Every structure is written in structure tokens, then in C-alpha cells.
Amino acid sequence: MSRVLSPIAALGALTLSALAALGRLAIFTGQTFAHMIRPPFYIKEFGAALMNVGYFSLPVIGLTTLFTGGALALQIYAGGARFSAEAVVPQIVAIGIVRELGPVMVGLMIAARVTSSIAAEIATMKVTEQLDALVTLSTHPMKYLTVPRVLAGIIVVPMLVAVGNIIGIMGGWAVAVGTLDFNSATYLQNTADFLETSDIISSLAKGAVNGGIATLMGCYYGMNSGRGAMGVGRATKGSVEAAAVLILAANFVLTGIFFSS
């Protein structure tokens, strides 16, 4: 290959392998949803996944959204003061948290906390032949491992987003009332008046998509892990990277769909 053409060839190869990866991912996603609607269903595993993805994520989600809301209030106050628009703090905090930051922060925290643990667990199971053992015990690994986790992610992450939104708004409220001399009742009234149903629906929809992406990536990278400890490390790293990028990309697309018209 000539020296001039080789960068182009490299680019082509990269594009092809990216497309192939996307195709494998799409097939995996399709298989997951196909298994979701066909028995057997593993209720106990689903319950455990709900606890792990949802309940145990509450502390980290509460803390991250609390600080995000607080920082947002400070920034809007300082920025608004430049053109005497300090009063919009409650409205902008509400919109910023509910429409964007709530779902994104929750999605990224789930990627950090849940995607990584799912990927590491399933990859270790693969490396130690536990996935093979499942098959020999007439249990489909997709049904037993992937479906409960992905379903839990889709169902429970919107709830986490709802909780995160409330705590984020309360973070803004605490800062505004505590240090910026806002009236508490007026602040809450302004927030409630300003938010529309579509804001909340879009927020929860983003939550469901993010929950699906985060859990799917964990399962996909785990099941396709290479051999040995290095394989597990690679799978974990790859799963979190892919989940974070896809969550942000999906968020952008969904924002376009919901709010561009």
C-alpha cells in the first residue's frame, strides 16, 4: 500500500470495525429483548438486580445530584446577576436538573457503579467457565444474567432519576434559601409553576434509555470478555467507556427529539 493511501485505508478499516461492533451490539440488544418476552423468567435474579441497580445506588445518586443542584444555583445566580436576572434561579435550576443534568448524572453514576460491576462479574463468570456451566445446566446465560439486569435497569433508573431530580432541585433550593436570600415558599412555588409535564416525561424517558444502555453494556462486555484477569479488566474498562459515551449521545438525540420542535 502506498504511503499516501495508508491513512485512508486505516480510516476505512476503523470504520468497518466500528460498524461491525455496532452490528454485534445491535444483535445482542435484539436477543436480549427477544429473551425478555419468552419464558422462563428468573424472578429472584430480577429482584436482586432491582436492589443492586436501584436501591443500593440511592446514596451516590442523592449526593451527586445534591451537589449538582447546589452548584447550578450558585452559577445561575452569579451569571444572572450580570444582567439583573438573579430571580430566574428556581426556574433554570428546575429545567437544568429535570431536562438534562438529572438523567445524565444518574446515567453516568449508574455507568460507574452498575455497568462496571455487571461487566466484571459476568466476565469473571466467563473466565472461570461459569457461563459454560450455566449452559450445561440447561440455563440460558442471556435469560439468567442479561434479561434480569437490563429489565431492572429500564424500570428502576427512571425512578432513580425522579429521586435525583427532586434532590437536585432541593440542593438548588437549599443554596438559594440558605445563602442567596431567596424566600423558601416562593422558590418552591416558582419551581412547581414552571415545570411542565413534558419536562418530567422526557426526564423519565431518558432515565429508562440510560438504564437500558448502562446494563446492556455491562452484560455485553462481560459476555464477550477475553480470557484471564486481563480480559476481565479490559471488559470492565470497555463497558464503562461505551456506556458513558452512549448515554451522552442518546441524551443528545433524545433532547433533540423532545425539545427541537
Partner 1 sequence: MIRFENVHKAFGSNRVLRGVNLHIPKGESMVIIGGSGTGKSVALKSVLGLVKPDSGTIFVDGKDASEGDHDAFLARFGMLFQGGALFDSLPVWQNVAFRLLRGSLKRPTEEARAIAVEKLRRVGLKEEVADRYPAELSGGMQKRVGLARAIAAEPEIIFFDEPTTGLDPIMSGVINELIREIVVEMGATAMTITHDMSSVRAIADKVAMLHDGVIQWTGPVAKMDDSGDPYVAQFISGSAEGPIEAVR
How far separated are the first and last CA of the chain, in Å rounded?
49
Residue 260 in contact with partner 1, rule: CB under 8 A: no
**How far is the C-alpha of 43 from the C-alpha of 144, rounded, in Å?**
10
Cβ contacts of residue 69 below 8 Å, gap of 6+?
A: 93, 97, 101, 167, 168, 169, 170, 171, 172, 173, 175
| Contact pick of 1, 4, 37, 137 for partner 1 (by CB under 8 A) | 137
Residue 132 in contact with partner 1, rule: CB under 8 A: yes
| 121 or 199: CB nearest partner 1 | 121
Residue 40 in contact with partner 1, rule: CB under 8 A: yes
Q: Total residues at the site for partner 1 (CB under 8 A)?
A: 15
| 61 or 123: CB nearest partner 1 | 123
Residue bearing cell 476505512: 12
List the grid coordinates of 172. 438548588
Residue 15 in contact with partner 1, rule: CB under 8 A: no
Residue 91 in contact with partner 1, rule: CB under 8 A: no
| Contact pick of 29, 91, 139, 255 for partner 1 (by CB under 8 A) | 139
Residue 135 in contact with partner 1, rule: CB under 8 A: yes
**Nearest Cα to 53, choosing from 186, 213, 222?**
213
Residue 228 in contact with partner 1, rule: CB under 8 A: no
Residue 258 in contact with partner 1, rule: CB under 8 A: no
Residue 128 in contact with partner 1, rule: CB under 8 A: yes
Q: Which residues of 89-127 are buried (b: 16+ CB within 10 A; e: fewer)?
A: bbebbbbbbbbbbbbbbbbbbbbbbbbbbbbbbbbbbbb
| 49 or 167: CB nearest partner 1 | 49
Residue 34 in contact with partner 1, rule: CB under 8 A: no
Whether residue 119 contacts residue 235, with contact meaning beta carbons closer than 8 Å, is answered with yes
Residue 42 in contact with partner 1, rule: CB under 8 A: yes
Binding footprint of partner 1 on the chain (CB under 8 A): 40, 42, 121, 125, 128-130, 132-139
